Chain A
Amino acid sequence: MKKTCKEIFVILLISILIGLIANALSPNGIALIRDDSERFLIDSSKTKSDNFKNQRGKLNKAGFYQPVNIPVETAKILFDDGILFVDGREPAEFQQGHIQGAINIDYKIFKDKTKEEKNEIMKDIRKDQAVVSYCGSDSCEISIDNAYEMAKVGFDDMKIYLGGYKEWKQFGYPIEE
């Protein structure tokens, strides 16, 4: 058993050393501590929902503009302004009911496409305007992930409506079923 423990220790040590060194040297290396603290954060200092409307995400290290989380009030203002809503759920769920005028881009399929294919799928959407990403409800993270996938291909003003279809419907805002 002592010999096995020694073997495990050696394998662990080699893996940790190579892993850390390779990660530090690789251009695709990741941070040692994953930071999801802002994933669901809605900036409460912006008390007026109008402020969110014009709030643009920061350009991050990965070279794309960070999507911004918005509350339902801002989502409604953007909706009234005619801003496009993108529903990231699967087509069957989308067809059961969605925010009026929204288009369906299924995250699970979209995420595996190449950059060119993503641009092709989104070719009819203006890049100089805001786009709102949403999904079923706040227990679903497709809205966040889909917005990041879109931001990475050049949509610089992505908004994430975390409350999603469920909250929108509860507020009695326009839907299509």
Chain B
Amino acid sequence: MNFLSNKYFLIAIRVIVGGIFIYASFDKLMNQEMFSKAIYNYKFLPGTFINIFAIIIPYLELIAGIFLISGIFVRGSSLIISILLVLFIIALGQAYARGLDIDCACFELKNELENANQKSDILLRIIEDMLLLTASIIIYIKSKIILNKEIQQ
């Protein structure tokens, strides 16, 4: 697992994870009303807090993404991204477990095929987020080791 400590490998995953977060933030920033509705559809957060999250999360993603790529506050950014990803995974997981359709906040009885399609969509997103979380944790841990080495030198 030596390659994980490779400087260039770490830069590469920083750019990938940071880039994905910057890209994801644009869509939400363009239409915050829709993002607020999307959070609502998860039936996960109390209604009062939804808009605060809808206003702040896109900027958190954008700024943490920019910092991660540019190498500023790498540990703080990767930890924030990890926490966000854990939240996303919990939100998706509870929707999956409850059989919630996150396109419309419905618990409709559907035929099995449609239900299976929606469930596999959510499952795919959970897997994507878990991969990103792994990458983000690697950045966090390895940048600490590199930092310590630099201090010792």
Produce 1/0 per residue, A62-103, CB < 8 A to B: 000000000000000000000000000110110000000000
Chain A residues positioned under 8 Å from B51 (CB to CB): 30-34
Chain A residues, CB < 8 A from B33: 28, 30
Tell me the complex Cα distance, A31–B76, Å: 29
- A94 CB to closest chain B CB (Å) equals 12
Interchain CA distance A34-B58 in the complex, whole Å: 17
Q: How large is the interface on B (under 10, 10 to 19, 20 to 34, 35 or more residues)?
A: 35 or more
B64 proximity list for chain A (CB < 8 A): 11
CA distance A15 to B65 in the complex (A): 12
A-B contacts, 14 of them at CB < 8 A, read A5-B76, A6-B76, A11-B67, A11-B76, A18-B63, A32-B51, A32-B55, A33-B52, A34-B51, A92-B111, A107-B104, A135-B108, A139-B108, A142-B104
Main secondary structure of the interface of A (DSSP, over half): helix
Are B59 and A136 interface neighbours, CB within 8 A? no
- CB contact list, B55-76 vs A, under 8 A: 55-56, 58-60, 62-64, 67, 73, 75-76
Q: Which of B107-143 contact A (CB under 8 A)?
A: 107-111, 114
Say yes or no: A92-B114 contact (C-beta < 8 A), given A7-B77, A141-B104: yes
Q: Which of A8, A22, A90 contacts B76 (CB 8 A)?
A: A8
Chain A residues, Cβ within 8 Å of B40: 34, 36
Ranked nearest first, the 4 interchain pairs of A and B with the lowest CB-CB distance are A7-B76, A7-B73, A15-B59, A140-B106
Max chain B CB contacts within 10 Å: which of A5, A8, A29? A8
User: Is A23 within 8 A of B55, CB to CB?
Assistant: yes
In the assembly, what is the distance between CA of A26 and CA of B44, in Å? Answer: 27
Q: In the assembled complex, which residues on chain B have CB atoms less than 8 Å from the CB atom of A90?
A: 110, 114
Instruction: Provide the bound-state CA to CA distance between A30 and B55, in Å.
Output: 8
Contact of B58 among A19, A32, A136 (CB under 8 A): A19
* A-B contacts, CB under 8 A, total: 103
Decide: A14 and B108 in contact? CB cutoff 8 A: no
Interface size on A, residues (CB 8 A): 40
Chain A residues with Cβ below 8 Å from B36 are: 30, 34
A136 cross-chain contacts in B, Cβ below 8 A: 106, 108-109
Inter-chain contacts of B55 with A (CB < 8 A): 19-20, 23, 30, 32
| Structural contact, A18 and B114, CB atoms closer than 8 A | no
Q: Is the CB of A11 within 8 A of B80?
A: yes
Residue of A whose beta carbon sits closest to that of B45: A34
Residue-wise, chain A 119-154 has the 8 Å CB interface mask toward B (1 for contact) of: 000000000000000011101111001000000000
A77 to B62, CA, bound (A): 52
Whole-angstrom distance between the alpha carbons of A28 and B50 in the complex?
16
> Smallest distance from the beta carbon of A30 to chain B beta carbons, Å?
5
B60, B79, B103, B109: the one contacting A4 at CB < 8 Å is: B79
